[in-house]
Structure 1
Amino acid sequence: MKGVNNLKPNIVLIMVDQMRADCMSIEDHPVVDTPNIDQLARQGIRFSNAYAATPTCVPARASIMTGMSQTKTGRVGYQEKVEWNYEHTLAGELVKSGYHTQAIGKMHVYPARNLCGFHNVVLHDGYLHYNRKKHENLELESFNLTGDDYLPWLKSKAGSSSDLIDIGLDCNASTVARPWHLPESLHPTNWVVSESIDFLRRRDPGKPFFLKMSFVRPHPPFDPPQAFYDMYKDLDLPVPPVGDWVSREDIDREGLNPVTLKGNVPDQRFKRAQAAYYALITQIDYQIGRFKNAMEEYGVLDNTVIMFVSDHGELLGDHCYFRKALPYQGSVRVPFILSDPGDLLQLHQNEKINNPVELRDIMPTLLDIANVPVPDTVDGQSVLSLCKGNNKWRKYIHGEHAYGKLSHHYLTDGKEKYIWYSQTGEEQLFNLQNDSKELENLSSKEKNRLTYWRHILIKELTGREEGYTDGEQLFIGKEPKNILNNHNFSSSK
């Protein structure tokens, strides 16, 4: 590995929240424009079959920060207020190796101010429900219930009454949108980059740095600045795919609920949300360009490796579903780019790798780049080996999510996908090579392939505390858990 000085390479992990993998120009999306993200990919490697095994914020971020699978972290569903006491974290291992570490933006850990191994956290988690409940937090200052750093800054700039809910959009509403009501410079996306640029100014120049720059958007609320919304509001936007296996019935008119999971949303309402979602991605893209310019000004761009990734996707109307957690491509497939502007790693740039990778692979990859030992608690693998032609990579990804009646498990190798709904027994099989939009359920036609994947799932679930299988067959209706009892949260485990 070559470098421009005798320090280890700097590392920037750019995380976005709820961004679909297909919403990039380089993925040939028909309307979304992402020139700076495209350039990150052109200066590195794009992993086209990257997945979130447990596609909601908390469990996904646990795998990113620990390198562990969802069964090792114990987080197989979404549950807040579960302490993060992992023995080994990405930032903690880099600190041990002499890195100056900084997190800016979203963490979504518990307690909210948990450092998770970083030297410092400048925090904005968005609307953190459990800390926003004033009737349960009377002992805290009402102006800053979350310990959030963005909110008091916003109040100092826009007025003491300014808050996240002023715009009238729910933080989980994927079907409604409106433009940001304040100057663009006050938007949380711009704030994350402003704080990140300030870190370049105040970092320790005698150490390599690790910066986790974590955006809350394009997670709802869908509130892009007007200039970005205007880029998309009048375009002919793509129609979401709806499979032949989908019921379009919406007797209770759930589509009228702004935070619906499924339903028939009024066309104009949905088009505004779709345009705003795309606009938020382009806003992030432009701010990444702003940060890269600052890196050049501070002379660190060519000695920095950049990883760009999302914690999960957004269904955005696919198969009449919204939000995330479900096993379909819009929800589980994520952007995953390893960019090397200074050619420090001497990889073949502007290439695409199709092997299945997962969020747990981030920690071992970045430790590998820093030449730091990977703890034996880590389940993931360094994707650098893939870049160098490793032919012993994993064959598939096992994903899952406890989700009430929609609790499920999925398996994919990037070519096929098998889904089992644990509460109903419904099985689905998709040929992703011929049907990337998952329009045709092949479970009744491809019995041999269905049996093949079912046996793999039985193997994966054998011994699980929920009792999903006896090693011979799958059992329907076993109660799913958000948190496994045999988790690995602390060093005492």
Structure 2
Amino acid sequence: MTALRKILFISADQWRAECLSALGHPTVKTPHLDALAADSVLFKRHFTVTAPCGPARASLHTGLYLMNHRSGRNGTPLDARHTNVALEARKIGLDPTLLGYTDTSADPRGRHPNDPALKTYEGPLPGYKPTMIFQEYMAQWMADLKAKGYDFEGRHDVYKPKPGFEKPADRGHRFIPTFFKNEDSDTTFMANRILNWLDDRKQEEWFLHCVFLRPHPPVITPEPYNAIYDPTDVPFPNRKATPEEEAEQHPHLKAMIGKLSKPNSYDEHNPNNLVTMSDLELRQMRACYYGMMNEVDDAVGRIIAHLKATGEYDHTLIIFTCDHGEMGGDHYTWGKETYFDQSFAIPLMIRDPRHLADATRGSIVDAFTESVDIMPTILDWLGAEIPAQADGRSLMGFLTGAPPASWRQEAHMEIDFRSGPYGGIDAERAFGIDSHECQMAIIRGKRWKYVHFAALPPLLFDLENDPAEMNDLSKDPGHAGIMLEMAQKMLSWRLRHQEHVLTDLHNSPNGVEDWGKRRRG
């Protein structure tokens, strides 16, 4: 009997890449993810190719770079002509299910202007069966809280700090927990729904994409997670002596620091100025962020335990990753829309249940991998055809002990930072540039990192000698040759990956011939 095909595709939200104890983080302990990593392949240099949430997830699911799918901001429609991992999986008989969110903004063409799908950026990606999407998830969770007797009005105050909580003097504001208990949290609620869904499908094939909100802000967590980490044990952010000195590095960084100095620009119900707050408050914010990770770690542990108990673990492809990173106070910034590595570096571990992957279990891959590689990897594992649109490449060779002979030597990232209704900076006004000029592209190798802006100054970092990206070398005449080399690499990357869906097809007397397949065959 052929083994049932099962895929568990877990995504967290806003998880810094190094925050796994399996990678030696000095503070964070993630025992359940560590156990999964020991039975998986862990990708050490994994990067999302864009941010924020909607664009990052568009790339994750379509296998396309931002320059090709062009859904650059939360709310920017994703062109319906692009296929994705869920649509492709349906072609081979699977029914991909979504519990959580993909932050997909629907293509308005062919829809009436009053279509509710056009009034949110939090729609489901076409191809997924939206069993519980984000709006419903939050509504169901809040209804559950109210049924249990919790007193609050709605989404605007569901993450308020616990009233009357006596905070110790040596703890910051974000030590104060949520007013709801851990067993009633949004993370636990989502884990319970995932387990209920799985429990009904033990003898079925399935493809489940489940998405946890945490450790996305607001930065607050229920007891006991608020107290797991002592702020004195938390690494201090990489930053210069003052915000003003930091802001001198680049106009875009200056604008981001300015935005974050305004109340509620990142973390709701937080009385602190996130740029100028005390060292204690800063470390406490980070400690709470780590605690939010432990919420997700425990939830993942419950899910894996269920799969092992039912015998499905030995037949399930398991992927754990997230959409983008988190600055966490580095360079006086928070969130994920800067040019620094912390915005883009994210975790990735993949467990292939087949015996041919036994030799690689517990290994760590040092090669550069990108979020666009997930879609072709899943399809490759399923034996499905990888569509011509994919910019990414399958990671299957890393899982089976036969890594590709030729692999990328850099990671590539982009951000469209034009203004829009869902956050960001008012870039056009701040910089006096056109919306279409609000673009940055990044090429990041093991030593050199080059940041190119369409209408702002470039940046160059020597990561070997300056891993925290504190010193821009772009204006140093001694590095002009490196600047040119990295700019040429970026141009070559863009030329190789500009849209290529039809470029290998040729109409001929024999009909349409795919010369790409002929070359690969």
- The TM-score range, normalised by the shorter chain, is 0.7 to 0.9
How far the C-alpha of 1:64 sits from its partner, in A, is 1.2
Separation in structure 1 between the aligned mates of residue 480 and residue 25 of structure 2, nearest angstrom: 33
Instruction: Name the CA shift for 1:158/1:211 in 2 (closer, same or farther; >3 Å).
Output: farther
Counting only pairs closer than 5 Å after superposition, residues 23-102 of structure 1 correspond to structure 2 as: 23-75=19-71, 77-80=72-75, 82=77, 85-102=80-97
Structure 1, residues 187-209: CA drift from partner, whole Å, max 9, x if none? 11111111110111222724x21
Matched, 1:271 2:283: yes
Superimposed CA distance per residue, residues 24-52 of structure 1 (whole angstroms, 9 cap, x where no aligned partner) = 11121111011111122111111111111
| Counterpart check, 1:220 vs 2:217 | yes
Q: Map residues 168-183 of structure 1 onto 2, 5 A cutoff.
A: 177=174, 178-183=176-181
Matched residues in 1 for 2:28 and 2:138: separation?
34
List per-residue Cα deviations over 1:368-415 (Å, max 9, x = no partner).
111111122222110113442212112323311122258522101344
Matching residue of 1:122 = 132
Select which of 155, 164, 168 maps to 1:164. 155
Q: Which residue of 2 aligns with 1:257?
A: 263
Cα gap change, 1:213 to 1:456, in 2 (>3 Å):
same
Q: Contact conserved, 2:103 with 2:123, CA < 8 A, in 1?
A: no
Is the Cα–Cα contact under 8 Å of residues 101 and 124 in structure 2 kept in the other structure?
no
- Residue equivalent to 1:420: 452
Instruction: Classify 1:70/1:389 alpha carbon distance in 2 versus 1 (closer, same or farther; 3 Å).
Output: same
8 Å contact kept, 1:44–1:350: yes
Question: Equivalent residues in 2 for 1:179-190 (5 A)?
Answer: 179-190=177-188
Aligned to 2:318: 306
Q: Equivalent of 1:284, from 262, 271, 296? A: 296
> What is the rounded CA distance, in whole Å, between the counterparts of 2:258 and 2:123 in structure 1?
41
Q: Distance in 2 between matches of 1:13 and 1:237?
A: 30
Summarize the Cα distance change of 1:347–1:49 in structure 2 as closer, same or farther, 3 Å threshold: same
* 3-state SS, counterpart of residue 334 of structure 1: coil
1:19 aligns with 2:15: yes
The alpha-carbon distance between structure 1 residues 271 and 119, as it changes in their structure 2 partners (threshold 3 A), is same
The answer to whether the 8 Å contact 1:25/1:33 transfers is yes
**What residue in structure 1 maps to residue 513 of structure 2?**
none
Could you say if the C-alpha distance between residues 53 and 160 of structure 1 is closer, same or farther in structure 2, counting changes exceeding 3 Å? Answer: same
Residue-by-residue CA offset, 1:401-452 (whole Å, 9 max, x unaligned): 1222585221013443111233321322232x44432234343243322220
Where does residue 329 of structure 1 map in the other structure? 341
More helix by share: 2
Kept in 1: contact 2:99–2:194 (CA 8 A): yes
Residue 85 of structure 2 aligns to which amino acid in structure 1?
A: L
Q: What 5-or-longer segments of structure 1 have no aligned partner?
A: 126-143, 466-493
C-alpha deviation, 1:9, in angstroms: 3.5
Provide the residue aligned with 1:106 in structure 2.
101
Aligned AA for 1:94?
A
Size of the aligned set, in residue pairs, is: 435
* Cα distance in 2 for residues equivalent to 1:108 and 1:16: 13
1:394 aligns with 408
- CA-atom RMSD in angstroms: 3.1
- Mapped to 1, the partners of 2:279 and 2:321 lie a distance apart of 30
1:360 positional shift: 0.9
What amino acid is aligned across from residue 489 of structure 2 in structure 1?
Answer: I
Q: Note the alpha carbon deviations across 1:287-336, whole angstroms, 9 max, x for none.
A: 11111111122221111121111110000111112111112111111101
Distance 2:458 2:199 in 1: 55
AA at the equivalent of 1:294: H
Return the TM-score normalized by structure 1.
Answer: 0.80
Asked if structure 2 preserves the Cα contact closer than 8 Å seen for 1:243 and 1:438, the reply is: no
Give distance in 1, aligned partners of 2:2 and 2:377: 21
- Code of the residue aligned with 2:70 in structure 1: it is G
Aligned in 2, Cα 1:223/1:343: closer, same or farther, shift over 3 Å? farther
Q: Could you tell which deviates more after superposition, 337-346 or 180-189?
A: 337-346
Q: Is the 8 A contact 2:260 2:333 kept in 1?
A: no
Cα distance in 2 between the residues matched to 1:13 and 1:96: 18
Structure 1 residues 342-379: Cα deviation after superposition (integer angstroms, max 9, x where no partner): 64644411111122111111111011111111122222
Letter in 2 for 1:455: Q
Select between 367-376 and 232-241 the one with higher mean Cα deviation.
232-241
Q: CA deviation at 1:85?
A: 2.5
Cα distance, 1:162 vs. partner?
A: 4.8
Task: Give yes or no for contact 1:10–1:303 (8 Å, CA) kept in 2.
Answer: yes
Aligned to 2:514: none
Instruction: Specify the structure having the higher radius of gyration (Cα).
Output: 2
Work out the CA distance in 1 between the residues paired with 2:61 and 2:363: 26
Q: Which runs of 5+ in 2 are unaligned?
A: 106-116, 162-171, 248-253, 268-273, 418-426, 432-437, 499-521
Indicate if the aligned counterparts of 2:103 and 2:124 stay in contact, CA closer than 8 A.
no
2:233 corresponding residue in structure 1: 236
Q: Name the residue aligned to 2:377.
A: 365
Maintained 8 Å contact 1:254/1:264: no
Query: Does the aligned pair in 2 maintain the 1:428–1:441 contact within 8 Å?
Result: yes
- Equivalent residues of 2:54, 2:74 under 8 A apart: yes
CA positional deviation for 1:216: 0.8
Partner of 2:364: 352
- CA change 1:244–1:392 in 2 (3 A) is farther
- In 2: Cα distance, 1:11 partner to 1:180 partner: 33
Distance 2:492 2:483 in 1: 14
| 1:408–1:332 CA distance, 2 compared to 1 (3 A) | same
Distance 1:158 1:124 in 2: 23
Identity among equivalent pairs (%): 24
Aligned-partner Cα distance in 2 for 1:268–1:243 = 17
CA distance in 1, matches of 2:497, 2:83: 24
- The structure showing larger relative contact order (alpha-carbon pairs under 8 Å, at least 6 residues apart) is 1
Looking at structure 1, the residues matched to 278 and 81 of structure 2 have their Cα atoms a distance apart, in angstroms, of: 44
Equivalence for 1:150: 141
| Counterparts in 2 of 1:229 and 1:101: CA distance versus 1, 3 Å | same
Deviates further, 152-161 or 212-221: 152-161
In terms of mean alpha carbon deviation, does 8-17 or 98-107 score higher? 98-107
Between 238-247 and 87-96, the greater mean CA deviation after superposition: 238-247
Deviations 1:136-190 (A, max 9, x none): xxxxxxxx7x9954344444444585533225669xxxx9734221121221111
- Determine the structure 2 residue equivalent to 1:380: 392
Show the counterpart of 2:469. 438
CA deviations on 1:60-107 (whole Å, 9 max, x unpaired) are 1001111111122112x3231625625422122222212242211222
Amino acid across the alignment from 2:304: K
Structure-2-length-normalised TM-score: 0.76
Q: In structure 2, what is the equivalent of residue 471 of structure 1?
A: none
Q: Check conservation: 1:313, 1:324, Cα contact below 8 A.
A: yes
* 1:451 alignment partner in structure 2: 484
